[in-house]
Amino acid sequence: AYGGGTGGLWLGSAFGLQVWDLGSGELRTISRLDGLPVSHITYILPAVGGHAPCGQNGPSKECCCVWVGTPKGLARLAQHGGVGSGSSKWTYLRGRRWLLSDEATTMAALGSGTMLVATTEGVSLLQGKTYTLEKKAAHYQAMAHPRHSRYGYSRYAKTETL
In the 8-state DSSP scheme, what is residue 14? Answer: T
pLDDT tens digit sequence for 36-75: 999 999 999 887 544 445 544 444 444 567 889 999 999 9
Q: How many other CB atoms are there within 10 angstroms of residue 157's CB atom? A: 4
pLDDT tens digit sequence for 92-144: 999 998 999 999 999 988 877 788 999 999 999 988 778 899 998 998 888 88
**Cα separation of 157 and 148, whole Å?**
13
Sequence-separated (6 or more) residues with CB below 8 Å from residue 135: none
**Cα separation of 158 and 18, whole Å?**
53
pLDDT at residue 140, as a whole number: 86
pLDDT tens digit sequence for 33-43: 888 999 999 99
In the 8-state DSSP scheme, what is residue 147? Answer: H
pLDDT at residue 51, as a whole number: 44
pLDDT at residue 55, as a whole number: 47
pTM of the model: 0.69
